[in-house]
Structure 1
Amino acid sequence: MSNLPILQFEDKILATVHENPVVVIIGETGSGKSTQLSQILLRNGYTNSGIIAVTQPRRVAAVSVSRRVAQELDVRLGDEVGYAIRFEDRTSERTRIKYLTDGVLLRESLSDPELKQYSVIILDEAHERSLNTDILMGLMKRLIKLRASNLKVLITSATLDGEKVSDFFSECPILNVPGKLFPVEILYSAEQPKSYIESSLRKAIDIHVNEPEGDILIFMTGQDDIEKLVSRLEEKIQSLEAGSCMDAVVLPLHGSLPPEMQIRVFSPPPKDCRRIIVATNIAETSLTVDGVVYVIDSGYVKQRQYNPSTGMYSLDVVEISRVQANQRAGRAGRTRPGKCYRLYPLAVYQDNLLEATVPEIQRSSLAGSVLYLKSLDLPDIDILKFDFLDAPSSESLQDALKQLFLIDAIDENGTITNIGKTMAELPLEPSLARTLIEANKYDCLPQALTVAAMLSVEGTLLPGRSKHTDKKRKQPPSELPDGSGWGDHIQLLQIYELWDQTDYSTDWVKDNNLQVRGMLFVKNVRKQLCQIMQKFAKGSLDVRRKERRRDRQNDYKNLRKSLCVGYASQLAERMIRHNGYRTVGFKSQLVQVHPSSVLRTDDEGVYPNYVVYHELISTSHPYMRNVCEVEMEWVTPILQKLEKLNVKILSGGSNQPEEITENSDVPKKDVKTAAPADDAKSRIQAARERFLARKGNK
């Protein structure tokens, strides 16, 4: 620890922080910024007037870094040093250094807008440009004016554009701390491989057999690729001739791993044994794995992207940026000179890769973020003009405002409602939060809590919902409930209730090809949501729910009614002359029901007239995933609300140009360039399209 470069700059850091409310610290890889900066401030009295908060974009990083700092300070994790992530809080009244995800800090600011318990707020890994970190930077800019005398804000990163952030915070000072890196030799492929998984496999085995000791870190795109490569590596290593090379252990590393699996990655390997770690981009900067000498860079990352004009998500494998490529290479030079094998040619790095990653705020649905900003209830906030480091498109913000209006989080004047304030208190996406509130009204909250918890699991939970599942599973298919024909939300409820009847048996989970860790996570999330909702609920909420198994069909109907309200912006109408549905409202899109859905057709093979869906995804076709049937009488109020949409008013502003409202799908550039003379023509064309659509439905 004593050799970490940041410690040599301790006096300069303290002097700069003392004199300025905001400081940008560019700490290169290996500088020790994530673990040491909080300890420097602790040693110098900054916890005398409050807690030091250190945000991380990733839960795994918040947990692992806090554990490391607790070890260095020789204190028990959860006492002087702790962490808080969604659905887990390991802090106490004694906590002086608190690592937390950026989303948790945002949620804390709802109950304490000035974040008075903190004397220092460090936004770490800001170069990742997570959605929540970008929102926090805008809020810190406001907060520092209110608490200039007793709050310090530090923005830290390995590769951040410091000048841009400095300009954003009124030209605050920038400190550059060099890293502790050994030389890294960069080796490029002669050509782009057809399969980065196969190419990574060959390269890893070649290194293992022919290169000196040292761990290998392989960057893959996601959990499926990691599991596939880990399995192939283990097979190859076992087939190597005994004594031809040292032993090797293959370890996965991704955000969905349970804590005990994550810890294995940070433990030193057995003697004369090489670790081969297969990781997502979580290992670029958020986590440091000591002992890595060889890096294999596939050149790709899996990125979730949202199209506000269609309301559709896509999970795409895309090329990394040059900043990411350099971060990956730096992982090889932490303990001694290393090598980075890039599985792509030099020309691809120079000509194809973007300079930096597109900020998450410019490729995400902003409904949750806009709800948060509205819930601050600050009269001078105009959502379309909020001060972002890199502003999202006007179209994305309009999309979020429309979604919130349709689910009653804001009224037609753009003011947050009591329902919206309650939604903001729940650690759920807006559609699920709204469903819980409506379910309380219809006396089916226990059932809605189960569905919300089941939909909060990251990754695959049910059998048959992964493209690799059928190949991996040899056992016969399980006899899971079918949702009684109503759809996937009801099936999720039925599955959990069956598990409940077995006293939460893990054997039952395994026998039905479900994910054990995922189901245990659901149980924990449901319990916590139950505790949160207790203050809003009518009567007592029993987690076990045995006394409620009275009229299931009525429960299912009330749950579907609640889902219709919660998912009002995710409504679809069956197209009679098309093989699919048209999404209703401001995002008209032709889509199909996902093949994994249990939604039942009638005797003639026809789907229900109206459904709501959890999300739209773009794969081989535009699909609705997690679909539930709803009834026309529940849909009518939604259609009436669509007629009242006016984004200019919803935003909270008064100077925006007039918006085209209902069923409008106008890209941002069209709004800017459209001349007043064209408005009548546009309206006529829109009316003609609506007429033709109605005619086609007859």
Structure 2
Amino acid sequence: MAALPILLFEDKIMETVEKNSVVVIIGETGSGKSTQLSQILHRRGYTRSGAIAITQPRRVAAVSVSRRVAYEVGVQLGEEVGYAIRFEDRTSDKTCIKYLTDGVLLRESLSNPELDQYSVIILDEAHERSLNTDILLGLMKRLVKLRSSNLKVLITSATLDGVKVSKFFSGCPVVNVPGTLFPVEMLYSSERPKSYFDASFRTALDIHSREPPGDILIFMTGQDDIDKMVSKLEEKIQNLDEGSCMDALVLPLHGTLPPELQVRVFSPAPPDCRRIIVSTNIAETSLTVDGVVYVIDTGYVKQRQYNPSTGMYSLDVVQISRVQADQRAGRAGRTRPGKCYRLYPSIVYHEELLDATVPEIQRSSLAGTVLYLKSLNLPDIDILTFDFLDAPSRESLADALMQLYVIDAIDAAGMITHVGRTMAELPLEPSLSRTLIEADELGCLSQALTVAAVLSAEIALRPIQRNAKDSKSKEQPLQLPDGSRWGDHIQLLQIYESWDRADYDSDWCINHNLQVRSMKFSKDVRKQLSQIMQKISKGPVDVQSSLRHRKGEHDYRSLRKALCKGYGNQLAERMIHHNGFRTLGYRSQLVQVHPSSALETNEDGRLSDYVVYHELISTSRPFMRNVCAVDMAWVMPIMKKLEKMDVYKLSGGLEAAITKPVEHEAHQQANKEINSSGTGDSVERKIQAARERYLARKGKK
């Protein structure tokens, strides 16, 4: 432990902290900042006047680091050292060192804006520039002015632009702590490989067969690639000639991995065996895996991006930044000199890669963020002028305001409503929060709680794949409920109801090819949401699941109506003469129902005229995911509200909003032309033409 560099700088760090309210600590990879800084502050007495909060951008990091610190301090996890993540709290009255996600700390600030339960707040891994961390940076700037005498704020990072953050906090000091213990040799490819997957596979085998002992860390882009790589490496290594090289243990590492499987990467390899860890970018900074000597950097990362003009998400494989490349390389060389195999030429690193990763706040939907800031009800916070380290686009803020207005979270003047305040109390995205509130009014809250919980657990529905040796392999696969033709939300509800009737049996999940852990998580989430709704509901709430409806008892009408209200900003209308739907409101995207959807045609072979969708995502083409059929009578009031929407009032003079009326009229005109012509093939051309005609008319006035 004494070898950790941050311990050598303990006196300097503490002297700086004692003299300043805000300190930026740049601790290079391997410096020990995430695990040791909280312990240093605890030893120096900072927990006598309040707890120490240490935020992490990822759930898995908050859990794993807290476990490590509890072990080092010599206490049971959940006592003096604990963690809090969404839907899970392992803390107690004894807890004085608390690791938590940045999102959880934001939620705590709703009930206690001054966060006076903490004497120190550490924003760790700030260089990842997560959406919530960026909001916290702005809130901390305000908070240190209010609590300058009894609050210390530390911003820690491996590669953050210390000068930029120091300037943001009025010139606060920056302390640099070295971290890489041994040199790392950079090995570049002569050219970009045609397949980074195949190149990673070949490089891993080459290292395993030729290089001295030491663990290998491979950076892949997502879980599918990781699972495929783990399977392929295991098969190949098992078929190597006995004695030709040492044994290898191949381990996956990603955010959705169960905790019992995540901890395997922190255990050393067995004797005469090397570990090959295949990971997402979670291993760049959030988790430190000791024993890694060789790093394989594909140069790519899977990044989720939101386009406010289309309301559409895309999950794209993009090039990493130089900051990320340096972080990946820094994973090697912690125990001895290491090597980093970059599967791209040197010129790509120096001339093509961005300096730093684009902040999440500039590539995300901001509806939840805007709702949170408005719910704080602080007179000195204006959403349009909020002090961000890097401000989001005006278009993104305008889009968020419009989304919130359509679902009644803010009024026509942009002020938060009673409904909006209630929504902010729920740890859900705005569409699901609004659905629960409406379901409470309509008497179907129990069902809506289930839908919200299952969606939050992100349960994946996959086709059954039986083992050929399985004695049941000749039987018909066990089919999941079909959603009664209404779509995916109803199907998810029916799946949970069926599991409830099976007394939450794990074998039922296995037989239906559902992940047991995810299903159990949805049950826990539902219970917690029920407890929250009990405090704000107008009637009794079903805490334990009692959803054992008889098949055909109802058509889920009330639930679908509640979903329509909650997803009012995410409506789509069936194109009569086109193979798909078009979104309604201030967007006119032509989309299709995702092939995996449970939405079915009616007795006449027709899809519903109107649907709501949980997510609009662009893959091979624009798709609606998690779709539910709704009635035209429920859609019309929402459409009328959209027609009356005054974006100027909503935004308070937002500059980008000046173009919105142009776009809105252009979309309306294009929609009329689509309906009259019976085709949507040239929708973008028609929108542009309508926009030009509108501008021409404006120019003549």
Which TM-score band applies after superposition, normalised by the shorter structure?
over 0.9
Report the equivalent of 2:36: 36
1:80-115 C-alpha deviation (Å, 9 max, x unpaired): 111000111011111111000000000000000010
Report the equivalent of 1:692: 673
Stretches of structure 1 lacking an aligned partner (at least 5 in a row) = 666-682
Contact in 2 for aligned 1:297/1:328 (Cα 8 Å): yes
Report the equivalent of 1:130: 130
Report the equivalent of 2:101: 101
Inter-CA distance 370–74: structure 2 relative to 1 (3 Å threshold): same
Is 1:575 the counterpart of 2:572 in the alignment? no
Q: Which amino acid aligns with 2:160?
A: L
Judge which range, 511-520 or 114-123, deviates more: 511-520
Residue 124 of structure 1: how far off its partner (Å):
0.4
Report the equivalent of 1:27: 27
1:275-320 C-alpha deviation (Å, 9 max, x unpaired): 1111110101111000000111111111011111001011111111
Residue 351 of structure 1: how far off its partner (Å):
2.1
SS in 2 for 1:355: coil
Stretches of structure 2 lacking an aligned partner (at least 5 in a row) = 680-701
Q: Which amino acid aligns with 1:108?
A: E
Is 1:142 the counterpart of 2:123 in the alignment? no
Is 1:171 the counterpart of 2:171 in the alignment? yes
How many correspondences in the alignment?
674
1:466-499 C-alpha deviation (Å, 9 max, x unpaired): xxx8799996643111111111110110111111
Report the equivalent of 2:16: 16
Contact in 2 for aligned 1:644/1:662 (Cα 8 Å): no
SS in 1 for 2:478: coil
Q: Which amino acid aligns with 2:462?
A: P
Report the equivalent of 2:585: 585
Report the equivalent of 1:315: 315
- Whole-Å separation in 2 of the counterparts to 1:661 and 1:573: 22
1:410-453 C-alpha deviation (Å, 9 max, x unpaired): 11111111111111111111101110111111111111111111
Contact in 2 for aligned 1:461/1:519 (Cα 8 Å): no
- Whole-Å separation in 2 of the counterparts to 1:82 and 1:686: 52
Contact in 1 for aligned 2:368/2:430 (Cα 8 Å): yes
TM-score (norm: length of structure 2): 0.93
Residue 6 of structure 1: how far off its partner (Å):
1.2
Report the equivalent of 2:273: 273
1:23-49 C-alpha deviation (Å, 9 max, x unpaired): 111111111111111111111111111
SS in 1 for 2:9: helix
Inter-CA distance 183–687: structure 2 relative to 1 (3 Å threshold): closer
Judge which range, 371-380 or 599-608, deviates more: 599-608
1:354-383 C-alpha deviation (Å, 9 max, x unpaired): 111111011111111111001001234332
Residue 536 of structure 1: how far off its partner (Å):
2.4
Inter-CA distance 248–690: structure 2 relative to 1 (3 Å threshold): closer
Contact in 1 for aligned 2:395/2:657 (Cα 8 Å): no
1:54-98 C-alpha deviation (Å, 9 max, x unpaired): 000011111111111111111111111110001110111111110
Residue 353 of structure 1: how far off its partner (Å):
1.2
Q: Which amino acid aligns with 1:692?
A: E
Q: Which amino acid aligns with 2:101?
A: T
Aligned CA RMSD, in angstroms, stands at: 2.0
SS in 2 for 1:136: helix
SS in 1 for 2:330: helix
Q: Which amino acid aligns with 1:462?
A: L
Contact in 1 for aligned 2:394/2:654 (Cα 8 Å): no
TM-score (norm: length of structure 1): 0.93
SS in 2 for 1:585: coil
Q: Which amino acid aligns with 1:689?
A: A
SS in 1 for 2:559: helix
Q: Which amino acid aligns with 1:100?
A: L
- Whole-Å separation in 2 of the counterparts to 1:619 and 1:663: 28
Contact in 1 for aligned 2:500/2:548 (Cα 8 Å): no
Inter-CA distance 386–644: structure 2 relative to 1 (3 Å threshold): farther
Contact in 1 for aligned 2:189/2:342 (Cα 8 Å): yes
Inter-CA distance 552–89: structure 2 relative to 1 (3 Å threshold): farther
Contact in 1 for aligned 2:62/2:100 (Cα 8 Å): yes
Contact in 1 for aligned 2:423/2:433 (Cα 8 Å): yes
Contact in 2 for aligned 1:248/1:273 (Cα 8 Å): yes
Inter-CA distance 650–471: structure 2 relative to 1 (3 Å threshold): farther
Report the equivalent of 1:462: 461
Q: Note the 1:445-594 alignment, pairs <5 A.
A: 445-458=445-458, 461-464=460-463, 477-546=477-546, 549=549, 554=554, 556-594=556-594
Judge which range, 176-185 or 305-314, deviates more: 176-185
- Whole-Å separation in 1 of the counterparts to 2:656 and 2:301: 39
Judge which range, 515-524 or 22-31, deviates more: 515-524
Inter-CA distance 690–241: structure 2 relative to 1 (3 Å threshold): closer
- Whole-Å separation in 1 of the counterparts to 2:207 and 2:668: 65
Q: Which amino acid aligns with 1:134?
A: D
Q: Which amino acid aligns with 1:374?
A: K
Q: How many percent identity over aligned positions?
A: 72
Residue 549 of structure 1: how far off its partner (Å):
2.5
- Whole-Å separation in 2 of the counterparts to 1:159 and 1:565: 44
